[in-house]
Amino acid sequence: MKNKGSLIFTMVMTLIVVGAIAAMVIMKQNSNKADAVLETKSVEPGKVTATDDYSKIDLKGQPMEGKKDAKVTMVEFGDFKCPACKYFEENIKPKYVQKYIDKGDLKVYFIHTPFHGAESLLGGYAGESVLKHEPDKYWAFHEALFNLQPKQHDTSDQWLTASALDKAFDKAGIKDKEAIMKDVKSSKEEAAVQKDVDLVQQYQITQTPTLIVDGKVIKDPMNEKQVTDAIEKALK
Percent of the chain clearing pLDDT 70 (strictly above)? 81
Contacts of 154 (CB under 8 A, 6+ apart): none
Q: Which pLDDT belongs to residue 41?
A: 56
Asked if pLDDT for residue 35 goes beyond 60, the answer is: no
- Predicted confidence at residue 26, as pLDDT, reads 40
Q: Residue 46: is its pLDDT beyond 90? A: no
pLDDT computed for residue 14 by the predictor: 44
Taking 60 as the threshold, does the pLDDT of residue 45 lie above it? no
Other beta carbons less than 10 A from residue 106's beta carbon: 24
Inter-CA distances, 139 with 63, 127, 212, 220, Å: 8, 9, 19, 24
Q: What is the arithmetic mean of pLDDT over 88-115?
A: 98
What are the domain boundaries of the chain? Answer: 2-235
- DSSP-derived 3-state class of residue 212: strand
Q: Which CATH code for domain 2-235? A: 3.40.30.10
Residue 38: name the closest of 158, 159, 145, 182 by CA.
182
Rounded CA separation 197/34 (Å): 23
Question: Is 21 in a helix, a strand, or coil?
Answer: helix
The confidence band for 29, taking pLDDT boundaries of 50, 70 and 90, is: very low
Closest CA to 96 of 236, 234, 222: 222
Mean pLDDT of 149-172: 93
In the chain, the amino acid numbered 230 is: A
Separation CA 186–CA 34 (nearest Å): 16
Mean per-residue pLDDT over the chain, rounded: 86
Name residue 91's amino acid: N
> Which residues have C-beta within 8 Å of that of residue 83, sequence separation ≥ 6?
149, 153, 155
* Residue 156 CB neighbours (<10 A): 9
pLDDT at 21 over 90: no
Q: Does the pLDDT at position 31 exceed 50?
A: no
- Comparing 38-47, 191-200, 204-213, which segment has the lowest mean pLDDT? 38-47
Which residue has better confidence, 200 or 153? 200
pLDDT at 152: 84
- Residue 29's CB is within 10 A of a number of other CB atoms, namely 12
| pLDDT tier for residue 210 given thresholds of 50, 70 and 90 | very high
162-181 residue pLDDT tens: 999 999 999 999 999 999 99
What is the amino acid identity at position 161?
Answer: T
DSSP assignment of 99-113 equals HHHHTTSEEEEEEE-
Q: What is the mean pLDDT of residues 124-147?
A: 98
Q: What are phi and psi of 111, to 5 degrees?
A: -115, 115
User: What's the pLDDT at 48?
Assistant: 82
Q: What is the mean pLDDT of residues 131-147?
A: 98
